[in-house]
C-alpha cells in the first residue's frame, strides 16, 4: 500500500473517487457495439475483492498492464447506484517495488 491509497474495502465506502492497490485476479475483455474493446477486471488485496470497469479509452491506454497477478495502482471513479455500485478505472500503473 502506498501512502495515498486506501484498501479495496475502503473503496466500497468512498463517495466519489478513490485510489487503491490490488492484484489482478481476472481480466474479461469484451467488444462494444461500436467495435471498441473494454474490460472488466477483478482485483483483490488481503481483505477484499473489487470488479473494475475499464472503458475503451482507458483500456487502449493501459491494456498492456492488464495481466493476471500484476500488482496495480488504480484511480477509481465510484458511481453509486441503488442495486450495485460501479467502480470505473480512470488511471492505472504498476506498483513500483
pLDDT (tens digit, 9 = 90+) per residue, 10-33? 998 888 999 999 999 999 999 999
* Confidence at residue 2, expressed as pLDDT on a 0 to 100 scale: 59
CA–CA distance from 31 to each of 22, 37, 65, 91, 94 (Å)? 25, 4, 18, 20, 24
Domain definitions of the chain by residue range: 8-94
Cβ-count burial of 50 within 10 angstroms (0-12 exposed, 13-18 middle, 19+ buried)? buried
Under 8 Å between Cβ of 23 and 14: no
Domain at 8-94, CATH class: mainly beta
Cβ-count burial of 3 within 10 angstroms (0-12 exposed, 13-18 middle, 19+ buried)? exposed
Q: What angle do CA 11, 85, 19 make, to 5 degrees?
A: 25
41: β partners: 27, 52
Element (H, E) at 56: helix 56-62
* Confidence at residue 13, expressed as pLDDT on a 0 to 100 scale: 85
CA 77/CA 11 separation, integer angstroms: 10
Please check the confidence at residue 1 and state whether its pLDDT lies above 60: no
Please check the confidence at residue 54 and state whether its pLDDT lies above 60: yes
Amino acid at each position: 500500500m502506498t501512502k495515498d491509497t486506501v484498501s479495496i474495502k475502503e473503496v466500497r465506502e468512498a463517495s466519489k473517487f478513490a485510489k487503491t492497490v490490488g492484484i489482478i485476479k481476472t481480466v474479461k475483455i469484451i467488444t462494444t457495439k461500436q467495435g471498441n474493446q473494454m474490460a472488466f477486471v477483478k482485483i483483490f488485496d488481503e481483505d477484499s475483492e473489487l470488479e473494475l470497469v475499464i472503458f475503451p479509452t482507458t483500456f487502449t491506454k493501459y491494456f498492456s498492464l492488464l495481466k493476471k497477478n500484476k500488482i496495480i495502482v488504480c484511480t477509481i471513479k465510484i458511481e453509486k447506484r441503488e442495486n450495485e455500485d460501479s467502480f470505473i478505472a480512470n488511471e492505472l500503473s504498476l506498483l513500483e517495488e
